[in-house]
Amino acid sequence: MKRAFKYRFHPTDAQAAELSRTFGCVRKVYNPALAARSEAWTTRKERVGYGQTSAMLTSWKRTEELSCLAEVSSVPLQQALRHVQAAFVGFWEKRSQYPRFKSKRKSGASAEYTRSAFRYADGRLTLAKMAEPLHVVWSRPLPEGVEPSTVTVSRDSAGRRFASLLCTDIPTPTPVTTAAVGIDAGLTSLVTLSTGEKVANPKHERRDRARLVRAHRALSRKEKSSNNRAKARTKVARIHARIADRRRDHLHQLTTRLVRANQTLVIEDLTVRNMLKNQKLARATTDAAWRELRSILNYKAAWYGRDLITVDRWFPSSKLCSACGAIAEAMPLNVREWTCGNCGTTHNRDENAAINLLAAGPAVSACGTGARPQWESSSRLGRFVVKQETPPAMVGIPSSQGGEEVKDAPSSNPPRRHRSPCRGSSSGSGRAGSSHTSPDPAAQ
């Protein structure tokens, strides 16, 4: 599989100037190409592809206004056109929104070099148009015998430079285990496991909030478009980068431990976007980084051959009693412990949710990621419904051998119909015990 290894590097003054010119030229190519494609479609209903924009790039280099495009490597400029094409493909396939223009201050500065535009040998990385190799901080070695196919150089808002090397790697498989765990995300505890373990929420943003407030206050006093304001903006960005780095490091350590110790991991599909609408909890929800936690679990499970199961967001994991299956009527956020009115068991809210997620994982795994576990009416205490076997053919169904109808006498004890644990199952009515099946055209 493709894996990217990201390293920080410290360029010389000449290298920093060359990278700054490259970043600016990439932006100057991306924006006109996007504008040309948008204008062609809105005015002439014509689709402009990569080939046409590549010809436009050649003509742009010959103009006096954009003659600077010829001073940098041509590979990052061609890759910018390919990125425009990929952005439109994502929009056409309804995977992303309409492409937007790049901003000098708001958009990240990056340039992508393919194999013909860089040289990597003996731990030394040299980019095109540069005489000396970059001073890269090799915090970890690349996989043995692996050559990078693409190098992406970027600069963040804090002024740090990074090089991301894309390589083809085979992750070392971890031993297969039978352990499974349910993971419930929260704010007081970052995650609560079905084993009863609670991982405390470090609250990185709160720890640096005082420094962040002082930096923002100093930034507000600086005159706009001044050098002092640029320095104050960089100071604010460095504090934000420190918070993000510590948060990311903690999530990596946590997810690696969970993936190595468990074969199956069950999490809940949370709508973080809607949760951020709660003004009282939006800041704490952002600091918890649940979306990033799920993203890291997703690709690490794929790396190490683990199973990550996502339970539907409407599954009542907190209100469902893990002992008897009864469902509580209401469960506000301030209720951290509750007692089941049916069996009298006292539950910790988060631990009970993690146990219920673990129990619901096999049903979701069998029915698909888009399914959600169902439960019966309150007369059966909300117990999960088990998928039933398909009943035998009933009267009126053509036989697959001679085309004759089956003349079975109706049983005095007809099988009970049960609701399927999967929504959108193969049967048209959504019930596993449906008595009518569409005949197979090939059998007639």
Q: State both tokens at 82.
A: 């390919």
373 within 8 A of 361, measured Cβ to Cβ:
no
Check if 350 is active-site.
Answer: yes
Q: Could you tell me which of 145, 152, 146 has the C-alpha nearest to residue 9?
A: 152
Q: Distance of CA 267 to CAs 173, 192, 355, 356, 360, Å?
A: 22, 11, 11, 10, 10
3-class state of residue 365 by DSSP: helix
421 within 8 A of 371, measured Cβ to Cβ:
yes
Query: Which residues, in sequence order, are bridge partners of residue 214?
Result: none
List, as one string, the DSSP characters of 78-92. HHHHHHHHHHHHHHH
**What's the start-to-end Cα distance of the chain, in Å?**
47
3-class state of residue 222 by DSSP: coil
Q: How far is CA 214 from the centre of its chain?
A: 33
Catalytically annotated residue among 112, 205, 287, 350 = 350
Identify residue 102 by its one-letter amino acid code: K
Residues found in the chain: 444
- The contacts found for 238-243 with CB under 8 angstroms, 24 or more apart, are 238/158, 238/159, 239/208, 239/211, 239/212, 239/215, 240/157, 240/158, 240/212, 241/156, 241/157, 241/158, 241/160, 242/208, 243/204, 243/205, 243/208, 243/212
Check if 64 is active-site.
Answer: no
Cβ neighbours of 183 (radius 10 Å): 25
Catalytically annotated residue among 184, 205, 287, 351 = 184
29 within 8 A of 83, measured Cβ to Cβ:
no
User: Strand pairing of 264-268 and 307-311?
Assistant: parallel
316 within 8 A of 374, measured Cβ to Cβ:
no
Check if 208 is active-site.
Answer: no
Gap between the Cα atoms of 63 and 76, Å rounded: 19
Catalytically annotated residue among 18, 112, 205, 268 = 268
Cβ neighbours of 354 (radius 10 Å): 30
The set of catalytic residues is 184, 268, 350
